[in-house]
Amino acid sequence: MENKFKYTSDNKRYHSLTYYYKEKFNSKVCKVSLNANFTCPNIDGKVGFGGCIYCSKLGSGEYAGNPKEDLITQFEKGKEMMQRKWPNAKFIAYFQANTNTYAPLKRLKECFEPFIERDDCIGLSIATRSDSITDECLDYLEDISKRTYLIVELGLQTIHEKTSKLINRCSTLDNFDNMVKRLKKRNINVVVHIINGLPYETEDMMIDTVKHLNALNIDGIKIHMLGVLKDTPLEKYYQKNKFHILTKEEYVNIVVKQLEYLNPKIVIHRLTEDPKQEDIIEPTWLTKKFTILNEIDKIMSTKNLYQGDMIKEKMKNE
């Protein structure tokens, strides 16, 4: 059956990042993950201690560069490795580990400006928290967006307050919504992270998180599966409480349903977590990334489903 989905050039039935980059830059685009050795307000005591319970000691920067090396060295090493596979690719500097706007403006400029000036870097992707962007920082991000391609990645994880407290997120949904609106008002691209399989959340709760994002005019989404990693507070919580871990089949089916409810204009940056095998406790199937992606494609094709199917009629009437 011919794929008539608007935002794809291959067999994907969702708005893939590969398609988006090809349309925008006419090239393969690779993100080089960097570790600028920032901390987090949820670690140092400004809003909380210990961080979100699932977060690793590397601040979810397992694939980022070595923080003992300067950022340019990290970028050069990451770029060189990726060029072996994609010699004609273009590159984005991805500030991944911890909270990458949680510092004085002077330090942010020291980190970001060298990459704005590089001919081999077409943009920046900055991962941060909604409660860690000051007015001064917001002005600076707007300035960056006028000089290069910019994505601000915000961790939401869930819209449900009870879950938020359990995972020690220490930030409110109202704060998140307000920051997304402020960023979008300045024409800054926003990508949101959510997590499926958080303790005691139902399928309907996970779908409600996606529905909420449709109303915020976000540009992209990263969907993760909760991974219980070694040496995290979540590991201790899991060992004590043994909450249900989604099976691969459950996860795949939930993601497919979330895609059906997601506005097709929203770019899918990620559809699963990608932990290192030596770090993961549960679920062990999470290390089989391509199997998960293939299963999602298979179900959507077999059932003739596309991103946004569940909101298609509503969108026609708007």
Contact by Cβ (8 Å): 163, 199? yes
pLDDT tens by residue, 52-108: 999 877 656 566 778 899 999 999 999 999 999 999 999 999 999 999 999 999 999
Q: How large a percentage of the chain has pLDDT more than 90?
A: 85
C-alpha 144: how far from its chain's center? 20
CA distances from 2 to 6, 236, 301, 304, 310 (A): 12, 49, 11, 11, 20
How confident is the model at residue 65, as a pLDDT? 77
pLDDT tens by residue, 26-53: 999 999 999 999 999 988 889 988 889 9
CATH dotted code for 17-317: 3.80.30.30
How confident is the model at residue 1, as a pLDDT? 42
- pTM, rounded to two decimals: 0.94
Q: Check pLDDT > 80 for residue 234.
A: yes
